[in-house]
Amino acid sequence: MSEKSPLMNRRLFVGGGIVLAVATLYMGAVGRGALKACGEVRGNAELPPDVQPLIQIGKAHLKDLARKGEPAMLNDVFLDARVLNSDDIVGAVQRRLLALDRESQDEFERGETVIVDGWVLAKSEARFCAALALRAERYNPLIA
């Protein structure tokens, strides 16, 4: 059984992604005009439309947490949300997703997963999505 190719691809992809991310951060800081030309960026305080799927996952996870009454996990979500409470939301999302990539595989290794609408996700993935959902709704009681 070949075990290497997807992981290798993933590593290469992540490596390439870092370059892309740095480039994008640069564009975010310097070349904002070019992004705006694509008609996708509406300002630092707004979440980009491409995170809508993640927000959808996050909403479902929040609903589960509320239904199950898991305050500790909700607290984790709020902490994540505070991280995301940045003016440079695009950069913050990118940085968090980069970290999540390795983190989520480690969590799968340890069996630290949650089920969101049937999807088996790493806990940190679900928590991050929930934070985005909170951010999207501008609902973040921990932030003054």
Partner 1 sequence: MDHSEGGRSTLEFDLCIIGAGPAGITIAREFANANVRVCLLDAGGLTIEREVKDLSRAEDVGRLPGSEDRHRVRAFGGSSNHWGGHCAPLEPDDFEKLDWIHHSGWPHGFDELRPFHVRAHDVLGLGEFDYDPESVGAKLGYKTFPFDPTKIKSTVSRYNRVRFAPTYGDELNNAPNIKVILHADVSDIQLEEAASDKVAHVLVKTIAGNEFHVAAKCFVVSSGAMENARILLMSNQQRPAGLGNHSDLVGRFYQEHLWHSSGCIVPRTERPDLKFYFNEWPLGDIGVRAHIAMPANMVRELRIPKYRSEISAVSVAFRTAEAIQLGVTMSDVVALISDPVGLGTVLACRSESIPTAYLLMNHVEQIPNPDSRVTLSNQKDAFGRPQPRLNWQLSRLDHEGVVRSQRAIAQEVGRSGFGRVRIELGEDDDTFLQRAFGVGHQMGTTRMDNDPALGVTDGNAKVHHTDNLYVAGSSLFPRCGWPNPTLTIVATSIRLADHLKTQFRADGLL
Residues that bind partner 1 (CB under 8 A): 1-7, 9-10, 13-14, 17-18, 20-21, 23-25, 27-28, 34-35, 38, 40-41, 48, 50-51, 53-54, 56-57, 60, 90-91, 93-94, 97-98, 100-101, 104-105, 108-109, 111, 113, 115-122, 125, 129
Q: 40 or 142, CB closer to partner 1? A: 40
Residue 87 token pair: 């003016």
Q: Left if phi > 0, otherwise alpha if psi is -120 to 50, otherwise beta: which for 76?
A: alpha
CB of 16 to partner 1, least distance (A): 9
Alpha helices in 30-122 (DSSP H): 32-37, 52-68, 71-83, 89-110
Q: Is 127 exposed, middle or buried (0-12, 13-18, 19+ CB in 10 A)?
A: buried
Contact 68, 80 (CB under 8 A): no
**In terms of CB distance, is 15 or 142 closer to partner 1?**
15
Shortest distance (Å) from residue 73 CB to partner 1:
17
Rounded to the nearest whole angstrom, what is the least distance from the CB of residue 142 to partner 1 in the complex? 24
